[in-house]
Amino acid sequence: MRLHVVQPQPATGRPTLSHIDLAGSAAQKLDHAWWHLPHPAAGPRPLRRPAQRARDRLARFLGYLWDAAVHLPDQSLLQQDTRPGRHGITAYPRLDADGVGHHLAVMGRLPPGHVRDLAQVRLVSGMCLFGSRAAQLVLASGRRLPISRLRHEPLTERATGLALEPDLTVYEHDTSLRLACAAASLGVRVPAHTETLHALDVPRTATMLMLLDDAQQGMVPAAVLVRWCQAVTDRHARLRSIAHQRWQAAWAATGSASPLLLVDVDELQAVETVLRRALAADRIPNTPELISAAAGQDRLWQQLVALTRPTTATDLADLSYIASYLRGGAGPTLTLGVETVQEGKILLRARHLRHLLADCPVPPPHLAAVYALGRLWTREAEGALQHNLYTHDVARHAVDADGRNRALAEVCADIYPAAAGRELAVSR
């Protein structure tokens, strides 16, 4: 297995594409924080115990989920928390399944009893639209600001327009391919007695709401918000369609004779209806009417609104991701998030709120998640590796060691050939 690494080259303007072979019998230090261990006992002493414990935990989890003994390869990727005062280590043991190699971390607890006691395993996978570089506000000064930054900082200058990239980002390609392969390989091995349902959360309404708080303050004109909502609608339809194709292809590559049960998550449909009606009337809706629409959707949303008391459109968007985890089934259910590493907070908040829910017509599910690392990373100028392609969106093409200009979307498809609809090859 190898990591593919894109590195910007400011001097030439042409990013380069290289790779790191994850092989050999010695531990590899990949940068200041990341290590590859060929065996838990092969690395520096502080890394050995976390690597072994993570490998054992993943084996136990998969053994429960698949009702079978699971033997994992010895290799792991590990990340040390290098922030001041922090000493945490996160380990991602390796899993080889259906021609693809993954590095996975598990969060959550196993349900009591046996997987055969469950009526359903519901695998929820989410992917964002656009990326930090692909969706930006144009400000009055002419500057551009990634819309994703509005989740963490106020808009201090009035927007005048949008700058949107029409093509799908490398993040969107990588995430839809990677999670399709991981979800298919995890779900196909659940015993047939237990229904396995795949739920895709490609957030349409939640993405529209990213500009609403600032639109209510007059910092984003209504015309810009209308254009944003239409762009999100178009992007959502495109990514959803591609994700469906990739989930179907990855499922077919497992060789399963059973059909793939695949549904779309749509937690804020009533909120979107209110938003669209207001915009059609040339009006920016206020937050209380959106909250009222959300609470009126069903008993789960009524309780979530009462428990969390959202005050902004962003709060509602965040709550929609949690609601997708808390949907119960017709009987005992395990919700298993199959997600990117950045989505860990969804599970933590869902677990907290699960214990506070009361009198639900359907009991809330048991909750766990598997986080799959990607294999296309970027390297910053000082040498640090970054696996979050949503925020570190550095290029669409890169020059490889042979001097070829490679489309990075094609590199992603080479890493996950099953989901790309290609003949399975040896994991690269």
Strands in 405-407's sheet, in edge-to-edge order, are: 385-386, 376-379, 2-7, 16-21, 397-399, 405-407
Neighbours of 102 (CB within 10 A): 24
Rounded distance, CA 98 to CA 150, Å?
A: 39
* Rounded mean pLDDT, 377-390: 93
pLDDT at residue 406, rounded to an integer: 96
* Rounded mean pLDDT, 253-273: 95
Picking from 45, 44, 51, 2, the residue whose alpha carbon sits closest to that of residue 23 is 2
Q: Coil, helix or strand for 378?
A: strand
User: What is the pTM (predicted TM-score) of this model?
Assistant: 0.93
pLDDT at residue 424, rounded to an integer: 46
Contacting residues for 398 by C-beta, under 8 A, at least 6 apart: 6, 14, 15, 16, 17, 405, 406, 408
Contacting residues for 281 by C-beta, under 8 A, at least 6 apart: none
174-206 confidence digits (pLDDT tens): 999 999 999 999 999 999 999 999 999 999 999
412-424 confidence digits (pLDDT tens): 999 999 999 865 4
Weakest mean pLDDT among 35-44, 194-203, 231-240, 242-251: 35-44
- Tell me whether strands 376-379 and 159-164 are parallel, antiparallel or unpaired: unpaired
Contacting residues for 256 by C-beta, under 8 A, at least 6 apart: 188
Rounded distance, CA 415 to CA 422, Å?
A: 11
Please give the C-alpha separations between residue 294 and each of 150, 197, 206, 260, in angstroms, as whole numbers.
22, 25, 12, 30
* Rounded mean pLDDT, 88-113: 93
pLDDT at residue 426, rounded to an integer: 36
What DSSP assignment string belongs to 75-87?
-EEEEE--STT--
Which pair of tokens denotes residue 117?
A: 């006691």
Instruction: Report the mean per-residue pLDDT for the chain.
Output: 93
Give 344: exposed, middle or buried? Use CB within 10 Å, 0-12, 13-18, 19+.
middle
Q: Which helix (H) or strand (E) holds 32?
A: none
pLDDT at residue 154, rounded to an integer: 87
Report the percent of the chain where pLDDT is more than 70: 98
* Rounded mean pLDDT, 316-327: 95
Rounded distance, CA 214 to CA 413, Å?
A: 38
pLDDT at residue 425, rounded to an integer: 42
Picking from 414, 386, 390, the residue whose alpha carbon sits closest to that of residue 8 is 386
Q: Coil, helix or strand for 66?
A: helix
* Rounded mean pLDDT, 5-30: 90
Rounded distance, CA 421 to CA 416, Å?
A: 9
